[in-house]
Amino acid sequence: MPLSDYIKRYIDEAELENSDLRHPAWLRDFFKCFSDSLRQSATKASSGDRYIVSVAFRDVLINHLFPKKIVIKPEEHLDEHIDISTSDPLGRLLKNKRVDFFIAGKNVDLFIEFKTNLQFNDLAAAMVEMAALKRFFSPEKTKTVQTASLHLFPSQPDIEGLRALNAVIGNPPLDHIWVLCKAQPEFRFDIDAIKSFRKQVTEIVG
């Protein structure tokens, strides 16, 4: 099956960045593994299948983007971290929710929701889930909590407007909003954003 245009543009851009000798080794390895994973999976994807990109990205994020000392747990259950009775309808709802990525740091637990795109609905969903996490975070925990949303591609052009929406809500649901691609004038990985994301996460979790 031929590559869809959607998947092909991610592969092309990842291979372009992998060939850039100015990048550090860890970044080139990340892009090589991302493009390889996409190519291996592309034959199983329909022309409109966007889930394949998110699966490939999750795999390389967990295994290739950060120093080995950082352990990322995917699909972390909220019931491990919140204090709310399951006899309550809200409690039953939240106990079954999962966060895309969880990193247990020395003093901070970091929770990250991952969305392939960044648009209003994507960010709103992440905000609601993280607001609930902060509201019911277990008081028995000795560490603080930080929350974030991670996005590959900004479908919504007004990114700063979305950041402002999160900021105006008391105790902002999201402590960080990371966007790793540029939409204008054409699709490109945002190398500075990827480096900053890696650096910030490393610093947050110690």
When the pLDDT of each residue in the chain is averaged and rounded to a whole number, the result is 88
**77: which DSSP letter?**
E
Q: Which of 14, 45, 65 is the last residue of a domain?
A: 65
**Angle 51-52-57 from CA coordinates, rounded to 5°:** 100
Percent of the chain whose pLDDT exceeds 90: 56
Structural domain total, the chain:
2
Q: Are residues 127 and 51 in the same domain?
A: no
pLDDT in tens, 132-166: 999 888 877 778 899 999 998 877 667 889 899 99
Helix axes 25-42, 5-18, angle to 10 degrees: 150
Query: What is the rounded distance in angstroms from the CA atom of residue 122 to the CA atom of residue 172?
Result: 16
Q: What is the pTM of this model?
A: 0.90
Q: Are residues 39 and 115 in the same domain?
A: no
pLDDT in tens, 68-108: 999 999 999 988 888 888 788 888 888 889 999 999 999 99
Q: Are residues 185 and 170 in the same domain?
A: yes
Q: Are residues 48 and 86 in the same domain?
A: no
Helices (H), strands (E): how many in the chain?
7, 7
Q: Which of 49, 65, 81 is the last residue of a domain?
A: 65
Q: Are residues 47 and 32 in the same domain?
A: yes
CATH number at residue 159: 3.40.1350
Give 116-177 as a DSSP string: EE-SHHHHHHHHHHHHHHHHHB-TT-SSEEEEEEEEEE--SS-HHHHHHHHHHSSS-S-SEE
pLDDT in tens, 21-32: 999 999 999 999
Of the chain, the end-to-end C-alpha distance in Å amounts to 44
Which residue range is the domain that position 29 belongs to? Answer: 1-65
